[in-house]
Structure 1
């Protein structure tokens, strides 16, 4: 992953040199995406969203979409930052500033950030790039709060700040995402959640999902993130995603996303060091 990965994938960098088209991408946690080069196109049930370089995109949780990452015609690069909202950060933000959300405008999913929002994101990127310890993590959360307040000030960001529900689906998604390679079984999960297997099955049925379906989705989503942002071998990606065989991982990956991990990895054509100066990426004005 890029240098901005200091806090458990809170902020990830996505880079490609060829077009990427990925189907059925699950969005479990709300995301803020800043496109630095190229263009991102999102296909949802309600239509198409186009986010160009210099624009930001808000993706609320609880949806599945198709995305296209299109490199810039001149530079040949697609480059974007994706900020995932941390559940504990959201809870503490609501405790401090929840009253500010009562009259907040919903905003538009694609927008041009204000100077204050750009500055706040740049500060957060710089903090995450060097974060190493509890004080740095506290500074990162403080910077994130500043970014959220800057977004609210310009009439954006409300969809990022919705607290996630606590149904069975959300509980299992969080559990599987924490350790997708673990040998999860309904019995182990039920014990972890302090309920019987029968209760777990009833709650999953009420949420219109299955144990195996959620586990597979979590493992493939984890693998997708590693393929798009990391440098590990595909064998290591498969193992980290709970697959003992790279071929089985590749087959499941293709069924889900419409292309193989190796085909997606090939679109990146990564240089030895994406940020050769050693600095965090610069948010364009």
Structure 2
């Protein structure tokens, strides 16, 4: 059964400084213990149990995950299906009506309340069920409606269409370790190499960089699940060279795989999606 959302959990027992972490699908990150300090332009935003980090697609985040009493835990929901056309078309009208809620429109932060916490928990719960796409979309639209009513849906979906970078990232992320080439990717999208390259260039992206980012993010997720050797990580991320994987990981995140592993607690639960 196709899932319309993806849920990942992240843990740490020591501070995790990470830079340029790619977000290639609209996502909400909820910190459950500890705090996340996000570098946002010239500001530093703090996220804890009382607020969510709401990020649209095609962003790169630089942050530090700071444990409290040796515990940092967060949940990230990635949204793979957009709101219904009716909800999307209502964004402009609703924002005009509730413009008093939009004084911090550019900050990717919304305060939580019991209603938001409830619908968020419902989304996490449906991942564990074998539900049809129609039923999943029903739950999603309810969540989107709740964000719309507080004037925050635009933070998650500022555009109604997917960018080429987002489309390519989603395709590559289904099997990051596969032998992906620009030719096979073009075949999947039924387009030419020149056309794909041109569309990515308009978004300041190169195919090889998009592929590397997807694989590096997959590496982070793997390390949250199990204590792999660096060679095992490299192979599971589509690299034949351990050293090349390590170099690319450090270039992306500003930390080596071994350094990152030292910050990760032995998880009591694995990623559930």
TM (normalized to structure 1)?
A: 0.80
Quote how far apart the aligned CAs of 1:214 are. 2.0
Counterpart residue number, 1:250 = 246
Higher relative contact order (CA 8 A, sep 6+): 2
* Aligned position for 2:260: 264
1:194 positional shift: 2.0
Aligned equivalents of 1:244, 1:202: Cα separation in 2: 29
Q: Confirm or deny that 1:177 pairs with 2:173.
A: yes
Aligned to 2:184: 188
1:104 maps to what in 2? 94
User: Aligned residue for 1:230?
Assistant: 225
Alignment of 1:38-49 (within 5 A): 38-49=34-45
Paired position in structure 2 for 1:208? 204
Unaligned runs of 5+ in 2: 96-101
Cα 1:159–1:241 change in 2 (3 A) is same
CA shift in 2, pair 1:204/1:13, >3 Å? closer
Deviation at 1:50, TM superposition (A): 1.1
- Residue 267 of structure 1 deviates from its aligned partner by 0.9
- Return the offset for 1:41: 0.9
Q: Secondary structure in 2 aligned to 1:10?
A: strand
Aligned length: 260
- Per-residue deviation, 1:262: 2.2
Aligned pairs for 1:89-100 within 5 A: 89-90=81-82, 93-100=83-90
Instruction: Tell me the CA shift for residue 26 of structure 1.
Output: 1.4
Partner of residue 83, structure 1: 77
Residue 44 of structure 1 contacts residue 64 of structure 1 at CA under 8 Å; is this kept in 2?
Answer: no
CA deviations over 1:11-57 (Å, ceiling 9, x no partner): 11111111100011112112111111111111133532111233212
CA distance in 2, matches of 1:37, 1:268: 14
Alpha-carbon spacing, 1:180–1:274, altered in 2? closer, same or farther (3 Å): closer
For residues 168 and 161 of structure 1, the distance between their equivalents in structure 2, rounded to whole angstroms, comes to 15
Please report how far the alpha carbon of residue 63 of structure 1 lies from its aligned counterpart in structure 2 after TM superposition.
2.1
Match of 1:3 in 2: none
Whether contact under 8 Å (2:25, 2:166) holds in the other structure is: no
CA offsets 1:129-185 (integer angstroms, 9 cap, x no match): x32x244x6544433322222222233232113446444433322222222222222
In structure 2, relative to structure 1, the CA distance for the partners of 1:212 and 1:85 (3 Å cut) is: same
Once the two structures are superposed, residues 186-240 of structure 1 have per-residue CA deviations (whole angstroms, 9 ceiling, x without a partner) of 322222222233333333333332222222222212222322x322624443222
User: Where do 4+ consecutive residues of structure 1 move more than 6 Å?
Assistant: none
Structure 1, unaligned stretches of length 5 or more? Answer: 1-5, 281-285
Q: What is the DSSP-based 3-state SS (H/G/I as helix, E as strand, rest coil) of the residue aligned with 1:253?
A: helix
Structure 1 pair 76–166 and aligned structure 2 pair: CA distance change class (3 A): closer
Alignment check: 8 A CA contact 1:71 1:77 kept: yes
Instruction: Report the aligned-residue RMSD.
Output: 2.6
In the alignment, is the contact (CA less than 8 A) between 1:55 and 1:112 conserved in 2? yes
